[in-house]
Chains A and B, each alone.
Chain A
Amino acid sequence: MLNYQLNPDIFNDDVKQEPVRLGFGKGLKAAGEANDKIVALCADLTESTQVHLFREAFPERFIEVGIAEQNLVAVASGLARAGKIPFASSYAAFNPGRNWEQVKTTVCLNDQPVKIIGSHAGISVGPDGATHQMLEDIALMRVLPNMVVVVPGDSIEAEKATRAIAENGKPCYLRLAREKTPIISVEETPFEIGKAYIVRDGYDVSLMGTGTMTYQLLVAANILSERGINAEVVHVPTIKPLDNDTILDSARRTGRVVTAEEAQINGGFGGAVSELLSEQLPTPLLRIGIQDRFGESGAPLELFDYFGLTGNHIADKVEKFVHNKAQYHREY
Chain B
Amino acid sequence: MGGKLSLVQLQHKANELREDVITMLNAAGSGHTAGSLGMADILTALYFDIMNIDPKNPDWADRDVFFLSNGHTVPIQYAAMAEAGYFPKEELLTLRKLGSRLQGHPERTKLPGLENTSGPLGCGLSQAAGYAYSLQYLDDSKHRFAYVIMGDGELDEGNVWEAAMFAGKYKLSQLIAFVDRNNIQIDGTTEEVMPLGDLIGKWESFGWHVIEIDGNNIESIIDAVKIGKAVTNRPTMIIAQTIPGKGVDFMEYDCKWHGVAPNDDQAKAAMSELSTFDDKNTLGDNK
Q: B255 near A: Cβ within 8 Å?
A: no
CB-CB < 8 A to B166: which residues of A? 65-66, 68, 71, 75
Q: A83 near B: Cβ within 8 Å?
A: yes
Which size bracket describes the interface of B in this complex? 35 or more
A91-109 interface (Cβ within 8 A of B): 101-102, 105-106, 109
4 A-B pairs closest in CB distance: A78-B130, A74-B126, A71-B162, A82-B134
Question: Is A78 a contact of B109 with CB atoms below 8 Å?
Answer: no
A48-96 interface (Cβ within 8 A of B): 60-61, 63, 65-66, 68, 70-71, 73-84, 86
Our pick among B129, B158, B159, B169 for the contact of A78 (Cβ within 8 Å) is: B129
CB-CB < 8 A to B169: which residues of A? 66
Question: Is B159 a contact of A71 with CB atoms below 8 Å?
Answer: yes
Tell me the complex Cα distance, A81–B165, Å.
Answer: 21
Across the interface, name the chain A residue whose C-beta is closest to B69.
Answer: A74
Summed over the interface, the residue pairs from A and B with CB atoms below 8 Å come to a total of: 108
Across the interface, name the chain A residue whose C-beta is closest to B118.
Answer: A105
CB-CB < 8 A to B107: which residues of A? 109-110
Most-contacted residue by chain B among A39, A66, A109 (CB, 10 A): A109
Our pick among B109, B129, B158 for the contact of A111 (Cβ within 8 Å) is: B109
Known contacts A78-B116, A105-B118, A106-B117, then 19 further A-B pairs from the complex at CB < 8 Å, ordered by chain A residue: A61-B138, A63-B133, A71-B166, A73-B126, A74-B163, A75-B163, A77-B123, A77-B130, A78-B129, A78-B130, A78-B134, A78-B146, A80-B130, A81-B116, A84-B138, A102-B123, A105-B119, A110-B107, A110-B109
Tell me the complex Cα distance, A105–B123, Å.
Answer: 9
B110-138 interface (Cβ within 8 A of A): 115-120, 122-124, 126-135, 137-138
Question: Is A70 a contact of B115 with CB atoms below 8 Å?
Answer: no
CB-CB < 8 A to B137: which residues of A? 60
Q: B67 near A: Cβ within 8 Å?
A: yes
CB-CB < 8 A to A60: which residues of B? 137-138
Tell me the smallest distance from the CB of A97 to a CB of chain B, in Å: 15
CB-CB < 8 A to B139: which residues of A? 82-83
Question: Is A78 a contact of B165 with CB atoms below 8 Å?
Answer: no
CB-CB < 8 A to B128: which residues of A? 78
Q: B108 near A: Cβ within 8 Å?
A: yes
CB-CB < 8 A to B135: which residues of A? 82
Known A70-B159, A105-B117, A105-B123: A82·B130 in contact at CB below 8 Å: yes
CB-CB < 8 A to A65: which residues of B? 162, 166
Tell me the complex Cα distance, A273–B128, Å.
Answer: 39
Tell me the complex Cα distance, A73–B117, Å.
Answer: 14
CB-CB < 8 A to A102: which residues of B? 123, 126, 159
B57-109 interface (Cβ within 8 A of A): 65, 67, 107-109
Tell me the smallest distance from the CB of B128 to a CB of chain A, in Å: 6
CB-CB < 8 A to B116: which residues of A? 77-78, 81, 106, 110
Across the interface, name the chain A residue whose C-beta is closest to B163.
Answer: A71
Tell me the complex Cα distance, A284–B109, Å.
Answer: 41
Tell me the complex Cα distance, A86–B169, Å.
Answer: 19
Known A70-B158, A82-B139: A106·B134 in contact at CB below 8 Å: no
Tell me the complex Cα distance, A78–B67, Å.
Answer: 9
B167-186 interface (Cβ within 8 A of A): 169
Interface pairs (26), CB distance under 8 Å: A60-B138, A61-B138, A68-B162, A70-B159, A71-B159, A74-B123, A74-B124, A74-B127, A74-B130, A74-B163, A77-B116, A77-B127, A77-B130, A78-B129, A78-B131, A80-B130, A81-B65, A81-B127, A81-B131, A86-B130, A101-B120, A102-B123, A105-B118, A105-B120, A106-B117, A111-B108
CB-CB < 8 A to B131: which residues of A? 78-79, 81-82
Tell me the complex Cα distance, A106–B107, Å.
Answer: 10
Tell me the smallest distance from the CB of B247 to a CB of chain A, in Å: 31
Across the interface, name the chain A residue whose C-beta is closest to B125.
Answer: A74
Across the interface, name the chain A residue whose C-beta is closest to B159.
Answer: A70
Tell me the complex Cα distance, A105–B67, Å.
Answer: 14
CB-CB < 8 A to B162: which residues of A? 65-66, 68, 70-71
Across the interface, name the chain B residue whose C-beta is closest to A83.
Answer: B134
CB-CB < 8 A to B119: which residues of A? 105
Question: Is A79 a contact of B130 with CB atoms below 8 Å?
Answer: yes
Tell me the complex Cα distance, A79–B130, Å.
Answer: 5
Tell me the smallest distance from the CB of A61 to a CB of chain B, in Å: 7
Our pick among A66, A76, A105, A109 for the contact of B165 (Cβ within 8 Å) is: A66
CB-CB < 8 A to B130: which residues of A? 74-82, 86
B 137-173 to A, binary, CB cutoff 8 A, 1 in contact else 0 = 1110000001000000000001100110110010000
Question: Is B122 a contact of A110 with CB atoms below 8 Å?
Answer: no
